[in-house]
Structure formats: structure tokens, C-alpha cells
Structure 1
Amino acid sequence: MPRVKLFDENEVLTKAMNLFWKQGYSATSVQDLVSHLGINRASLYDTFGDKNQLFKKSFELYRKTNLEGVMHFFETRPNVKIGFSELFHTAIQNDILDEDNKGCFV
């Protein structure tokens, strides 16, 4: 009988994305992931594959989330020029206020 997962995959993937974003791929060990995500090593490998696969899934989540956010942002702006100005202002403010100084995930 297959084991039931006791964690939310999307929540864990979001946590992994944020850890990779904060520390970078090379500075993030599998043990860092296990500790930060709150799941055991076997569950990590069974669900997400190896560290590289988890990073790729995290990056895909980052891309999807940001694309959806930017699309929604522009859909709610009547003027493209003002919208771009607001977008850059918001990005700068978010970077200034980011306590982790994550910078760009890419």
C-alpha cells in the first residue's frame, strides 16, 4: 500500500523556492533543504527528485508566479506607460524592503 504524504507539495515547493532564492543553488545543500522544508530526505527524493530537479521545479514556480503577477498588474492598469513606471517602482520598493536581500532569483 502506498504511503500517504503528510505535507502539502505546493507549500514545500514554495519553501524550497524561497530557500534557493535566498541562498543560491550552490550554497543550498540537501541537508539545508531537509531542515528548512520539514520533510525527511526520502520524501524529498520521492516527491521532487534530486536537488537539481527540485531547483528546476522551484524555478518554474517562480516564473509562473511572477508571470501571473505581472499579467494581472498590467490588466489592472489603464495606461501602459504609467503601468511600467509603477511596476519598476514596486520592484525597487520590494527589493529595498526585503530583509533577506534576495535579489533576482534568475
Structure 2
Amino acid sequence: MIRRKQEAVNLIPPEPAADESGICRILIRLPRGQKLERRFHRTIHTLKAYFILAHPDSPYQFEMATYFPKRTFPWQPDMDTHPTLAEVGLGASKALLVLDLDA
């Protein structure tokens, strides 16, 4: 699992500039309360979640959820395809909660 976290760092896509079009700003809250914030391209970047997995305090097994309306997004690193942020309905700004499935 530690190796998977280390590999995830190299798989994080570059962060787009704040003035680019089609950007989604995501605030991520980890289970222990840490907050991460980052910009992604809505139509290019997917829910692959390497940005979350690479964080030292993130759980190994997790799913993401929106606060309101409540929706969950299961995440499996070995899935063949992942939907884009636009395909799951994330707009210009969204907060996601990371749920630890091993807790």
C-alpha cells in the first residue's frame, strides 16, 4: 500500500491555471479533518483520485462523497475507466468528503 501511495504522486496531473476555462475547484476534506484544495479540468480530469491517495494522511480504501445533495463516488485504483468530473456532474466549485472504508 505504501508503494501505491508513492506511485500516485507521479500520476497526479498538472494543476491548470486559475484563469483557464472549464476549471473545477475542489475542496477535499480528509477523514482526520485536513483540507486539500486544487483545480482540475472538468472535461479532462477524472475521478481517478491520485491527488487524494498521494496525501500521506489519506486512507488506502476510500470513497468520495458530496455534502449536498449527498452523493457518493466509489473509487478503485484498478478500475479500467473513470468518469470525468463533468460526467459525474461536478461544476465550477465543489466540496468532497473522503470516507475511510477501513475505519
Structure 1 length as normaliser, TM-score?
0.26
Structure 2 length as normaliser, TM-score?
0.26
* Structure having the larger proportion of residues in strand: 2
* Structure having the larger proportion of residues in helix: 1
The structure number with the bigger radius of gyration is 1
